[in-house]
Copies of this chain bind each other. A is one copy, B any other.
């Protein structure tokens, strides 16, 4: 299969990150031992230290390299178009919801790692800004009723996030309908 050294190293690194994400999500950062991590990646503990300086460095690499802020921007950007506001909004929230679902392990790690506040804050701020700008624009265009766009964005984000977190995902269409009833858009 002729894999070069460089490729092999990169592949191994990803493999270790993958395994770590799974194990951390399962047992928590403190609860997972280096042995656990190594076994999950089917290597020996020593090897882990060729790729990461410490267990903590592995956590950091996970948070930095697998953080989903870039994905968030990307996914939300794809939803900005000329469709009716309610539809676009549902699309945005749905994208966010799916992002959380796709990264459930990572979210769990965030919380377990004691990095929750910082990571969550960043995510929330960015997401709320994106949604808030959209709402303000559509309200200015008269398509949505006048409202506190920043607060609305907070509300929408929080509801979707908590829904995922408590294991009972929210129906984004119903959520949009609650804040912007069809009758008065």
Interface residues of A, Cβ cutoff 8 Å to B = 28, 30-31, 111-112, 114, 116-117, 120-121, 124, 147-148, 151-152, 154-155, 157-159, 161-163, 165-168, 170-171, 174-175, 177-179, 181
Selected contact of A30 from candidates B28, B124, B168, CB within 8 Å: B28
Contacts of A179 in B (CB 8 A): 155, 178-179
Contacts of A157 in B (CB 8 A): 162
Q: Is the CB of A121 within 8 A of B158?
A: no
* Contact status of A151 and B175, CB under 8 A, knowing A30-B31, A112-B112: yes
Contacts of A165 in B (CB 8 A): 116-117, 120
The distance in angstroms between the C-alpha atoms of A171 and B155, with both chains bound, is: 12
Q: Give 3 nearest A-B pairs by CB, closest first.
A: A30-B30, A158-B162, A158-B158
Closest B residue to A28 using CB positions: B114
The distance in angstroms between the C-alpha atoms of A49 and B114, with both chains bound, is: 27
The distance in angstroms between the C-alpha atoms of A167 and B119, with both chains bound, is: 12
* Contact status of A159 and B170, CB under 8 A, knowing A30-B31, A31-B30, A165-B117: no
Q: Is the CB of B116 within 8 A of A111?
A: yes
Q: Is the CB of A166 within 8 A of B111?
A: no
Chain B proximity of A165: nearest CB distance (Å): 7
